[in-house]
Structure 1
Amino acid sequence: MLCSITDRSRHAAAAAALSGCLLVAHGAMAGDAASGARLAAARCVSCHSSTETIHSTLPLLEGQPKAAFIAQWRAFREHKRTAPVMVSLAQELSEQDVDDLAEHYAALLPPRTTESSGSDAGRALVDRLRCADCHGPALQGTNAGAARLGGQRARYTAWSLQLMRGGRRSHGTAAKPDPLLADLSNAEIESLAAHLASLR
């Protein structure tokens, strides 16, 4: 069952409010992309490399909006997300470190992928689920804190959608499990993830 337009509006408003709170709480710091690049090379690239396939179930960070990057870091720091390595790293990084990293990654584009191509089925699911309502018209994320979906690794997206469908991970402000994703089959999730990976 799809969320109503009213529910979507509430989700968008809540995301915008959350983004505002994040920026206020963050002190509206200015990130330093050069410092972020050095920190990324030292702390992030070993797992989140855009060229190595060994970590294909981990997300690409390139092109993630600054607000989305910061929101995920806060989720790990507050134990709302529970990957042990990231929870530990989130505790170690300062507010300025995270601003620098967010500035660095927001300025990059995800690499072109050869792992998948778009499909009519995947495109139809994007329309049916109205992904653009929250993630922006080109699915590149928003300044309200929604993540970029276009160009993301298919395996990571499929895994994330399965967690959200089962209620083990939140999907924005939606209930857990998210009713928007409840009726998706594994095949549909794979098709959707492959299509999103093909976008840039």
Structure 2
Amino acid sequence: MCIGCHGIVGYRASFPEVYQVPMISGQGARYLSAALQAYRKGDRRHPTMRSIAGSLSDQDIEDLAAFYAAQLPAAPPPAAAAAPDAQVADLLKRGNCAACHGEGLNKPIDASYPKLAGQHGDYLYAALRAYRVENHPQVGRANAIMAAQAKPYTPAELKALSTYIASLPGELQTVPNAKFR
């Protein structure tokens, strides 16, 4: 079922708002596994993803995570990224994003953390805002560290951060399935 959304270039989710579904090809296996486990437990509250993750066995999750992690781009991303403007540089410093997500926000210090560089900006914005949601049965993400990081920012600041991070060179991609082209 993953390719039905994550294997279509430009595909957009419509709940709780319209945004591009995240690129998962090239993401780390431990992160993908942790994300699916969080959907299954309800720590990530997205009804569609929770339903899908709930239908997967532990082995299914590990197999899917390994499959998508192995889909790295043929060529590494360019090393140089545009420098952030002063506002975004301050936001990145304030959030200390690189401390967990690593150099260029593409080399997480722990394999269970996501690569962020090059991810869809509208998805990043929706995800960051989800960490700010509390006590909603269908929306939000339960992660104390990211909640503490996201809550001090205004929506405009989260949008600026998301837009910049999306512009960074990264390994994430959408790999269409040949059967659906």
Q: TM-score, normalised by structure 1?
A: 0.65
Q: Give the aligned length.
A: 151
Post-superposition shift, 1:109?
4.1
Determine if the alignment matches structure 1 residue 169 to structure 2 residue 141. yes
Asked whether the equivalents of residues 122 and 194 of structure 1 are also in contact (C-alpha less than 8 Å), the reply is no
Q: Who is 1:65 aligned against?
A: 28
Post-superposition shift, 1:50?
5.4
Post-superposition shift, 1:190?
0.8
Question: Whole-Å Cα distance in 1 between the matches of residues 52 and 3 of structure 2?
Answer: 13
Question: Given the alignment, which residue of 99, 107, 124 partners 1:133?
Answer: 99
Q: Who is 1:153 aligned against?
A: 120
Question: Whole-Å Cα distance in 1 between the matches of residues 91 and 156 of structure 2?
Answer: 11
Alpha carbons of structure 1 residues 82 and 92: separation in structure 2 relative to 1, 3 Å: same
Post-superposition shift, 1:134?
1.4
1:160-195, Cα deviation, whole Å (9 max, x unpaired): 111213444233x428xx333323121111110011
Post-superposition shift, 1:80?
1.8
Q: Who is 2:38 aligned against?
A: 75
Alpha carbons of structure 1 residues 118 and 107: separation in structure 2 relative to 1, 3 Å: farther
1:51-88, Cα deviation, whole Å (9 max, x unpaired): 12434342111222111111111111112222222222
Deviates more, 1:119-128 or 1:76-85: 119-128
Unaligned 5+ residue runs, structure 1?
A: 1-42
Question: Whole-Å Cα distance in 1 between the matches of residues 55 and 133 of structure 2?
Answer: 30
Question: Whole-Å Cα distance in 2 between the matches of residues 118 and 162 of structure 1?
Answer: 24
Post-superposition shift, 1:151?
1.4
Question: Whole-Å Cα distance in 1 between the matches of residues 26 and 117 of structure 2?
Answer: 9
Tell me the secondary structure at the aligned position of residue 165 of structure 1: coil
Q: Who is 1:51 aligned against?
A: 9
Post-superposition shift, 1:123?
3.7
Asked whether the equivalents of residues 68 and 147 of structure 1 are also in contact (C-alpha less than 8 Å), the reply is yes
Tell me the secondary structure at the aligned position of residue 103 of structure 2: coil
Q: How does 1:19-58 map to 2 (within 5 A)?
A: 43-49=1-7, 51-55=9-13, 56-58=19-21
Q: Who is 1:186 aligned against?
A: 155
Determine if the alignment matches structure 1 residue 84 to structure 2 residue 47. yes
1:142-168, Cα deviation, whole Å (9 max, x unpaired): 444111111111111111111213444
Question: Whole-Å Cα distance in 1 between the matches of residues 100 and 55 of structure 2?
Answer: 31
Letter in 1 for 2:23: L
Question: Whole-Å Cα distance in 2 between the matches of residues 118 and 51 of structure 1?
Answer: 27
Tell me the secondary structure at the aligned position of residue 191 of structure 1: helix
Tell me the secondary structure at the aligned position of residue 174 of structure 1: helix
Alpha carbons of structure 1 residues 50 and 162: separation in structure 2 relative to 1, 3 Å: same
Question: Whole-Å Cα distance in 1 between the matches of residues 141 and 37 of structure 2?
Answer: 15
More helix by percentage: 1
Asked whether the equivalents of residues 139 and 149 of structure 1 are also in contact (C-alpha less than 8 Å), the reply is yes
Asked whether the equivalents of residues 12 and 21 of structure 2 are also in contact (C-alpha less than 8 Å), the reply is no
